[in-house]
């Protein structure tokens, strides 16, 4: 990312907000073009160390700071009271990019007014190591500049994909937003299975962690499909084939994941109202 002249106001600097902020700085966005609103002292101090202006509330941001982009990285339960204060920026033409889970575009349009340019994004936690993937959708008022700036901001921490149909965000949330937890659970279960087979606990933990992280990196770098990579590991009649006979059975991993993603999708829709 080249140093960009546009100004960004980041509202909320928790785990995802701080990951975004670090990515922006590392990729060349000038600290003086960024302001952060974060009331929690530890999070605020971490942001200050990156050289950006930090305020406890909107009333304390640098005088005259007029953002072109406002990034809402608040917890969903804080948006009802936290977002309306930023409506004047929407009326001045700033675009709003939300990463608040479960809050649809229409919700922000109600809080920010009829002129608001609103973009809704679903990132995931690998953004902390610049390996995230974020899916974005936007309302009709979001212009080309807002979309390009959104691509710049989210591209600092990984891949960006766009969808026109906002309803797809619920499935995105279930697959990639919640997906890291499924992978971490796999590592937990693999380690536990190793212990059950007699491995010392520390060794089982190391083997599981290295296998999951290494396989992920191989998948990232490979041009082959996941199916081909799986087949490459599997010798007919061998140990991997024996294990896959269990995992790929009718009641194995695939139907389990389908049910899990469906449950997460339903819950995302419930949270959105």
**CATH number assigned to the domain comprising residue 230:** 1.10.3730.10
Domain count, the chain: 2
Same domain, 231 and 99: no
Same domain, 203 and 76: no
Same domain, 167 and 188: no
Same domain, 140 and 190: no
Same domain, 36 and 160: yes
Same domain, 192 and 168: no
Contacts of 19 (CB under 8 A, 6+ apart): 125, 127, 128, 132, 157
Nearest to 95 by CA among 199, 3, 9: 9
**Is the residue at 15 inside a domain?**
yes
* Residue 62 DSSP class: P
Same domain, 46 and 123: yes
Q: What's the domain range around 37?
A: 8-176
**Is the residue at 70 inside a domain?**
yes
**Is the residue at 81 inside a domain?**
yes
Contacts of 24 (CB under 8 A, 6+ apart): 1, 8, 34, 153, 156
Same domain, 109 and 224: no
**Is the residue at 1 inside a domain?**
no
pLDDT at position 272 = 81
pLDDT digits (tens, 9 = 90+) for 209-267: 999 999 999 999 999 999 999 999 999 999 999 999 999 999 999 999 999 999 999 99
**Is the residue at 58 inside a domain?**
yes
Same domain, 157 and 206: no
**Is the residue at 134 inside a domain?**
yes
% of the chain beyond a pLDDT of 90? 93
**Is the residue at 201 inside a domain?**
yes
For the domain that residue 85 is a member of, what is the CATH number? 3.40.50.720
pLDDT at position 273 = 74
Residue after which a domain boundary falls, among 143, 176, 209: 176
pLDDT digits (tens, 9 = 90+) for 101-148: 889 999 999 999 988 999 999 999 999 999 999 999 999 999 999 999
N- to C-terminal Cα separation, the chain: 36
Residue after which a domain boundary falls, among 176, 211, 240: 176
- In angstroms, rounded to a whole number, what is the distance separating the alpha carbons of residues 184 and 128? 15
Task: Tell whether the model's pLDDT for residue 3 goes beyond 50.
Answer: no
Residue after which a domain boundary falls, among 145, 176, 207: 176
Same domain, 46 and 156: yes
Structure tokens at 41: 């002292």
Same domain, 195 and 92: no
Task: Tell whether the model's pLDDT for residue 2 goes beyond 70.
Answer: no
């Amino acid at each position: 990312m080249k140093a960009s002249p546009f100004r960004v106001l980041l509202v909320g600097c928790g785990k995802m907000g701080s990951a975004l902020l670090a990515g922006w700085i590392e990729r060349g966005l000038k600290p003086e073009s960024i302001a952060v609103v974060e009331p929690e002292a530890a999070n605020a101090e971490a942001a200050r160390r990156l050289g950006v202006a930090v305020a406890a509330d909107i009333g304390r941001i640098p005088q005259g700071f007029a953002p072109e982009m406002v990034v809402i990285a608040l917890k969903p339960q804080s948006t009802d009271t936290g977002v309306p204060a930023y409506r004047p920026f929407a009326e001045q033409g700033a675009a709003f990019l939300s990463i608040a889970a479960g809050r649809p575009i229409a919700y922000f349009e109600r809080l920010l007014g009829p002129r608001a340019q609103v973009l809704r994004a679903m990132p995931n936690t690998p953004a902390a190591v610049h390996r995230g993937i974020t899916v974005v959708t936007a309302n009709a008022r979001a212009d080309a500049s807002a979309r390009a700036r959104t691509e710049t901001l989210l591209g600092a921490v990984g891949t960006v994909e766009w969808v026109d149909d906002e309803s797809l965000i619920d499935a995105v949330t279930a697959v990639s937003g919640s997906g890291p937890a499924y992978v971490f659970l796999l590592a937990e279960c693999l380690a536990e299975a190793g212990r059950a087979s007699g491995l010392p606990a520390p060794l089982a933990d190391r083997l599981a962690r290295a296998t999951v992280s290494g396989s992920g990196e191989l998948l990232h770098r490979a041009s082959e499909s996941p199916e081909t990579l799986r087949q490459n590991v599997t010798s007919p009649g061998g140990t991997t084939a024996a294990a896959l006979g269990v995992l790929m059975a009718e009641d194995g991993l695939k139907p389990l994941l389908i049910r899990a993603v469906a449950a997460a999708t339903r819950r995302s829709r419930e949270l959105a109202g």
